[in-house]
Chain A
Amino acid sequence: MVRSKTPLFLLAVLLAPALVGLVVFRLYPIALAVSDSFFNMLRGNQVFVGLDNYVALFTDSAFWKSLQVTLWFNLLINPIQIALALGLALLYVQKFKGVAFYRVLFLIPIGVSLPTAVIIWRIMLSPDGLANGVLNIAGVPGQPWLTSESLALYSIIAIATWKGISYWMIFIIGGLQNISPEIYDAARVDGIKPWQRLVFITVPLLRPTLLFVLVADVSINFLLFAPIFMLTQGGPADSTNVLMYEAFKSGFIFGDMGRAMAIIVVVVVILLLIVGLQFRLLAGKPEGK
């Protein structure tokens, strides 16, 4: 009895910081968000209104438009980011002349903080900015990158992708290096073509890594806020008004914290559903069983 007590105590001590962190920084805010979503806080006092905030949300066209934008944004950005990250990772592990130079290029976006990157892109994409300058030299008229309803969301996808893919690339490189070279040797002996090697060996063996990257990437993109806040503020004509921005506007501009929290709860539920689905479809059986 005495012997088992010591490790348990030690275990508790060692785990305590993580558990306290989990409760204070994750569980408590979630509980607070859920409970706040049942209150109207537009007056000085908090008034319990039950499900009113949710009912108001689901009958509000602004919310539905925002949900639509969020889903479309994620449907596009996640496959693009992962495909590009995989492509870059495959390129990164190749051996060719000047590879070191390209490796540095690939890693630059990680070294730039998100706000800095967004500011640089804002200057480049401004109506008289570098991007349009290059287009003008090529004889193409300048484009309204961030100021047109039909382009703004795609510009944000491009910026977020530029910033994000090197990060995911690093995970995929790790996954690639875990694949035993013997498998490729065997494949070569069997006369497998390079594209078959990718489809039938690399991608299946990368599945655990790709699942992690997919889940983490979806979570981050679902909660993407800074570029939208800094570049378009949800406009033009709500074309970039994702749910996180709608929640921010409700809470911090309108002081309607109950509505903001209801939106956050909806976002978390949707995210859990998507991530749950991804685990079900992609996880497969654990290795070695």
Chain B
Amino acid sequence: MKMWNTALAISMVAAMTAVPALAQDKTLNMIVIEGGDTTAMQAVVDAYTAAHPGTKINLQPYPFAQFFQVAELRLRSKDTGIDLVYVDAPLVASYASRGFLAPIDASIDTSTLVSAAIDAGKYDTTQFALPINNSAQVLFYNKKLFADAGITAPDGLTAGQNASQADVDTLGSSKRWTWEQVADAAQKLTVKDGGRTTQYGFTVEQFGELYQLQPLGESLGTDVIAPDGVTAKGYLDSEAWVKAGTYWSSLYNEWAVSPKSLGYGEAAQLFGNGQLAMFAGGTWNLPILAQTGVDFGVAPFPYFEGGKVLTPTGSWYVGVNAASTNQAEAFDFAKFLTTSDEGTRVWFKALNQLPVSKPLLDEISTSADFDAFPNNVFRLGVYDSLNTAKARPVTAAYGQLQDAFRTAFVDMANGVAVKDALESAVQKFESAAARVAR
């Protein structure tokens, strides 16, 4: 008995000393994507904690490839070890429908944010996530490799040349390359030595990902899935998608201008080494590429000849874990990150992604700071987000769609017949989505 009494006394003393300590120092945990996102988030965290010395924010970075699984698992298990979570735009519905996220504190003023971005964070008219930024995809091209091959580079923004928002609007509306032009140039820019490719003509940054490839088929006229969110037959296996898939497959198999199975971040690396002539990627690559010494230009995201111009959009949101015991503090940081002048500015400077904050967007369009390259590339993002951006489909089965889509596009790049791959994706998505809808 004596031993138990002693233990009890010790634990009570420990509890009494621990409680005031906790009240003073709240530690918030946030899961983020490893790499640039973590560095940028740390900058925001530093700015926030400088003004809120009582709060500590501990970032838990995970690699992009595992992030979705980790978030799914930890939110599902009502893990109180995370307070704030990164949410990909199309997953808001899936998380919210399962009660993973706390509804956003109504006192947070979101009037300075782009309304489309705000709406994408809603589920059943309730706001569940706040947009951190938007995204824009562009075509990066290596000017020297084009000159060496003796072919004309696309019209774009390059170093040493200023561009007003009006100039950029003209570029986006009338000088955009087609995917056919990209393929043609890519074949001339691919160099083989023996059996080995020493220089690739073109690739996309996110190999097989729906986010980047959705405009391929949709710009030809057919959406990825039906508006009901659970049907894909007649959509992903339509003529438009077969044409898009054939183009994609040809990049890897027939023309062999793109490297197979490219990991995340490897496109920018190849481009920076001068082994890749063009790639479609996010504006977040600008600071990385600026350090490589490669003389590059930035052109608008291409479209299919005769098709409609559509570009990828949507990005990451922040949500508060419904199981978090520090919700008030978590909302306060989310508010700083997404709506405050300081928070949005620090984030934009650190990550170089298209903002959703209207004051920042206005500044990009009008301030002389954005006249010169590479800052003027953000004006291209502004043009696209106003004119050509197409959001990803809203469905509670988004995870299922993303996986079926990725599998199909990776398989096609690996030489699986286009129709078979798309039909298999339709079948996989529909059977998985039916389980969600039940």
Once the chains are docked, how many angstroms separate the CA of A61 from the CA of B430?
Answer: 13
Cross-chain contact B261 with A255 (CB below 8 angstroms) = no
Once the chains are docked, how many angstroms separate the CA of A60 from the CA of B428?
Answer: 10
Once the chains are docked, how many angstroms separate the CA of A147 from the CA of B258?
Answer: 14
Kindly identify which residue among A44, A126, A235 contacts B414, using a CB–CB cutoff of 8 Å: A235
Kindly identify which residue among A40, A142, A233, A256 contacts B432, using a CB–CB cutoff of 8 Å: A256
- Chain B residue numbers with a CB within 8 Å of A238 are 424
Cross-chain contact B73 with A259 (CB below 8 angstroms) = no
- Chain A residue numbers with a CB within 8 Å of B68 are 253
Cross-chain contact B399 with A255 (CB below 8 angstroms) = yes
Query: Which one of B20-28, B191-199, B225-233, B287-295 is at the A interface?
Result: B191-199
- Confirm or deny: B307 has a beta carbon within 8 angstroms of a beta carbon on chain A: no
- Chain B residue numbers with a CB within 8 Å of A42 are 98, 435-436, 438
- Confirm or deny: B332 has a beta carbon within 8 angstroms of a beta carbon on chain A: no
Cross-chain contact A43 with B196 (CB below 8 angstroms) = no
Query: Which one of A93-101, A127-135, A169-177 is at the B interface?
Result: A127-135
Known: A148-B414, A255-B76. A44 touches B407 (CB 8 A): no
Report the interface size for chain B: residues with CB under 8 A from the other chain. Answer: 37
Min CB–CB distance A66 → chain B (angstroms): 12
Contact residues, B72-130 vs A (CB, 8 A): 72-73, 76, 94, 97-100
Cross-chain contact A253 with B399 (CB below 8 angstroms) = yes
- Chain B residue numbers with a CB within 8 Å of A136 are 194-196
Known: A56-B435, A235-B414. A147 touches B260 (CB 8 A): yes
- Chain A residue numbers with a CB within 8 Å of B69 are 252-253
Interface string of B265-307 (1 = CB under 8 A from A): 0000000000000000000000000000000000000000000
Cross-chain contact B435 with A236 (CB below 8 angstroms) = no
- Confirm or deny: B350 has a beta carbon within 8 angstroms of a beta carbon on chain A: no
Cross-chain contact B98 with A147 (CB below 8 angstroms) = no
Once the chains are docked, how many angstroms separate the CA of A233 from the CA of B420?
Answer: 18
Min CB–CB distance A129 → chain B (angstroms): 10
Inter-chain CB contacts under 8 Å: number: 88
- Confirm or deny: B35 has a beta carbon within 8 angstroms of a beta carbon on chain A: no
Cross-chain contact B428 with A62 (CB below 8 angstroms) = yes
- Confirm or deny: B259 has a beta carbon within 8 angstroms of a beta carbon on chain A: yes
Which secondary structure dominates chain A's binding surface? loop
Cross-chain contact A133 with B196 (CB below 8 angstroms) = yes
Kindly identify which residue among B98, B100, B416 contacts A237, using a CB–CB cutoff of 8 Å: B416
Once the chains are docked, how many angstroms separate the CA of A62 from the CA of B72?
Answer: 23
- Confirm or deny: A218 has a beta carbon within 8 angstroms of a beta carbon on chain B: no
Cross-chain contact A236 with B410 (CB below 8 angstroms) = yes
Residue of A nearest to B195 (CB): A136
- Confirm or deny: B251 has a beta carbon within 8 angstroms of a beta carbon on chain A: no
Min CB–CB distance B327 → chain A (angstroms): 17
Once the chains are docked, how many angstroms separate the CA of A119 from the CA of B263?
Answer: 13
Once the chains are docked, how many angstroms separate the CA of A185 from the CA of B297?
Answer: 80
Contact residues, A238-272 vs B (CB, 8 A): 238, 249, 252-257, 259
- Chain B residue numbers with a CB within 8 Å of A126 are 261
Interface centre among B98, B259, B399, B414 (most CB of A within 10 A): B414
- Chain B residue numbers with a CB within 8 Å of A141 are 195
- Confirm or deny: A144 has a beta carbon within 8 angstroms of a beta carbon on chain B: yes
Cross-chain contact A255 with B72 (CB below 8 angstroms) = yes
Kindly identify which residue among B399, B411, B438 contacts A235, using a CB–CB cutoff of 8 Å: B411
Residue of B nearest to A61 (CB): B427
Once the chains are docked, how many angstroms separate the CA of A256 from the CA of B399?
Answer: 11
- Confirm or deny: B313 has a beta carbon within 8 angstroms of a beta carbon on chain A: no
Contact residues, A117-173 vs B (CB, 8 A): 126-128, 132-133, 136, 141-142, 144, 146-149
Cross-chain contact B415 with A148 (CB below 8 angstroms) = yes
Interface string of B394-422 (1 = CB under 8 A from A): 00000110010001001101111000110
Min CB–CB distance A119 → chain B (angstroms): 11
- Chain A residue numbers with a CB within 8 Å of B194 are 136
Once the chains are docked, how many angstroms separate the CA of A17 from the CA of B197?
Answer: 58
Cross-chain contact A40 with B438 (CB below 8 angstroms) = yes
- Confirm or deny: A227 has a beta carbon within 8 angstroms of a beta carbon on chain B: no
Known: A42-B435, A42-B436. A127 touches B259 (CB 8 A): yes
Known: A62-B428, A253-B68, A253-B72. A236 touches B99 (CB 8 A): no
- Chain A residue numbers with a CB within 8 Å of B415 are 144, 147-149, 236
Cross-chain contact A254 with B403 (CB below 8 angstroms) = yes
Once the chains are docked, how many angstroms separate the CA of A142 from the CA of B196?
Answer: 9
- Chain B residue numbers with a CB within 8 Å of A254 are 399-400, 403, 432, 436
Cross-chain contact B435 with A255 (CB below 8 angstroms) = no
Cross-chain contact B431 with A60 (CB below 8 angstroms) = yes
Cross-chain contact B414 with A236 (CB below 8 angstroms) = yes
Residue of B nearest to A257 (CB): B76
Cross-chain contact B196 with A255 (CB below 8 angstroms) = no
Cross-chain contact A236 with B411 (CB below 8 angstroms) = yes
Once the chains are docked, how many angstroms separate the CA of A128 from the CA of B195?
Answer: 9
Min CB–CB distance A118 → chain B (angstroms): 14
13 pairs, CB–CB < 8 Å, chain A vs chain B: A43-B97, A43-B98, A44-B98, A128-B197, A148-B414, A235-B407, A237-B421, A249-B403, A252-B69, A253-B403, A254-B403, A255-B76, A255-B94
Residues of B within 8 A of A (CB): 68-69, 72-73, 76, 94, 97-100, 194-197, 259-261, 399-400, 403, 407, 410-411, 413-416, 420-421, 424, 427-428, 431-432, 435-436, 438
Given contacts A40-B435, A62-B431, A256-B436, 20 further A-B contacts (CB under 8 A): A42-B435, A43-B98, A44-B98, A126-B261, A127-B261, A128-B259, A133-B196, A136-B194, A136-B195, A142-B195, A147-B261, A147-B414, A233-B407, A236-B414, A237-B421, A237-B424, A252-B72, A253-B72, A256-B432, A257-B76
